[in-house]
Each structure stands twice: as structure tokens, then as C-alpha cells.
Amino acid sequence: AHVEPAADIEIDPDQILYAVHGADGERLAVMLDRETAFAAAVAHELEPVSVH
């Protein structure tokens, strides 16, 4: 799984959301912070990596 800022979703212009994607590129979840996104990936038996 890879974790990256979700630039295409804007709720608050000052808030950066983080998306968790599967190996095939499918977006699996969107979280409020990077740490939560990583924890969610690990909790679902995925190996998270950052993508900038």
C-alpha cells in the first residue's frame, strides 16, 4: 500500500488529507493525518510506504 497526500480532495484548504492506495492504485481510504493512514494500512495487513 502507498500513502500520499490526497490533493484531489479539498474539505478545508488548510487541511492536507492522506490517501491509502492498494498495490493496484485503488484508493482504499482517506485519513486526516499521515500517522493514521499508516496505522490503518498496517491494521489491514498492508505494508505502507510514502509517496511524495
Evaluate if residue 11 carries a pLDDT over 90.
no
* CB contact set of 18 (below 8 Å; sequence gap of 6+): 3, 4, 5, 6, 30, 31, 32, 33, 34, 36, 37
**pLDDT, tens digit, for every residue of 22-52?**
989 999 999 999 999 999 999 999 999 888 7
pLDDT of residue 5: 86
For the chain, what are the domain ranges?
2-50
As a whole number of angstroms, the distance between CA 38 and CA 20 comes to 8
pTM: 0.77
